[in-house]
Amino acid sequence: MLTEERHRIILDLLKEKDAIKIQEIVDVTNASESTIRRDLTQLEQEKFLKRIHGGAARLQGKLKELSVSEKSSKSFHEKQSIGQYAASLVEEGDCIFLDAGTTTLSLIDHLPEMDIVVVTNGLTHVDALIQKGFKTYMIGGYVKPVTRAMVGSGAVESLRQYRFDKAFMGANGVHAQYGFTTPDPEEAQVKRMAIELSREAMFLTDDSKFGEIAFSKIVDLDKAMIITNALDGEHDKAMMKQTTIKVVTP
């Protein structure tokens, strides 16, 4: 079977379901496992798919963005582990920025009682922070309905008056070449500003975000460390050359 025909079969399989195993492709094409691995590497380099442990997955659309409720049900245990580790990095007296998102929200659950100041653009974060007694500031701006985040020029201007010890960020895509990305340019601008105003920045991302490329760039990988639940594959090795990655398991 010609390489082009195998590639067409692989991409057709990915149209039918979000992820496929190498063995499934071997069974359909009668090619060797090593040949299929080379095919997947080539297709990933050409940005048709992303490699995952034992197979490949369909890339998300660059503008695709799940709602808060949809995100909350995905990778719950992984997000809790990431949030728990991130919370352990917060120190007495810190001023922190907490980005909107369900993984950053999980950090709040694990914060012990301490004297810190939290600035956030996440509407869903405010109640949890107040209930735990933290001094909390909400930045201004436009309320984005899908992510419940404050974005836009008002949010950026509101952020300028603060300085942070640590920023805990979220992203839709993490890629060795294209860095941290998100679908919305206005949200990317807020994230970028928060990172610029912070002494340290950390992206809290589960491994499903690796290899994804969303529409708007936030920053390059070397601008922040990554806290995640797993690493696997050549893409992850390339990322490790550019930034610090902390892997925590559920």
pLDDT at 35 over 90: yes
Residue among 194, 212, 205, 95 nearest 150 (CA) = 194
Is 36 inside a domain boundary?
yes
Q: Looking at the 3D structure of the chain, how many domains does it have? A: 2
Tell me what pLDDT residue 108 has. Answer: 97
| 82 and 42 inside one domain | no
Secondary-structure percent of the chain, ordered helix, strand, coil, rounded to 5: 40, 25, 35
Locus of tokens 């970028």? 192
| 83 and 154 inside one domain | yes
| 122 and 19 inside one domain | no
pLDDT at 31 over 80: yes
Quote the percentage of the chain above a pLDDT of 70.
Answer: 93
Tell me what pLDDT residue 19 has. Answer: 87
| 15 and 43 inside one domain | yes
Stretch (H or E) spanning 168: strand 164-169
Tell me what pLDDT residue 16 has. Answer: 87
Task: Assign residue 43 the CATH number of its domain.
Answer: 1.10.10.10
| 107 and 27 inside one domain | no
Is 63 inside a domain boundary?
no
Residue among 108, 146, 145, 144 nearest 125 (CA) = 108
| 52 and 95 inside one domain | no
Task: Assign residue 103 the CATH number of its domain.
Answer: 3.40.50.1360
Which amino acid is present at 6?
R
Locus of tokens 């201007």? 157
Split at pLDDT 50, 70, 90, the class of 205 is very high
> Which alpha helices (H) appear in 184-223, and where do they start and end?
185-196
Domain residue limits at 13: 3-57
Tell me what pLDDT residue 104 has. Answer: 96
Q: Which residue has the higher pLDDT, 222 or 67?
A: 222
Is 237 inside a domain boundary?
yes
| 7 and 111 inside one domain | no
Tell me what pLDDT residue 18 has. Answer: 82
Is 24 inside a domain boundary?
yes
Tell me what pLDDT residue 63 has. Answer: 61
pLDDT in tens, 171-196: 999 999 899 999 999 999 999 999 99
| 118 and 220 inside one domain | yes
| 102 and 50 inside one domain | no
Is 227 inside a domain boundary?
yes
| 83 and 49 inside one domain | no
Is 93 inside a domain boundary?
yes
Is 62 inside a domain boundary?
no
User: What is the average pLDDT value for the chain, to the nearest integer?
Assistant: 90
Which amino acid is present at 96?
I
Is 226 inside a domain boundary?
yes
| 130 and 212 inside one domain | yes
Sequence-distant (≥ 6) Cβ neighbours of residue 232 within 8 angstroms: 52, 53, 207
Tokens standing for residue 134: 């933290």
| 209 and 102 inside one domain | yes
Question: Span 119-145, mean pLDDT?
Answer: 96
Residue among 184, 169, 120, 123 nearest 148 (CA) = 123
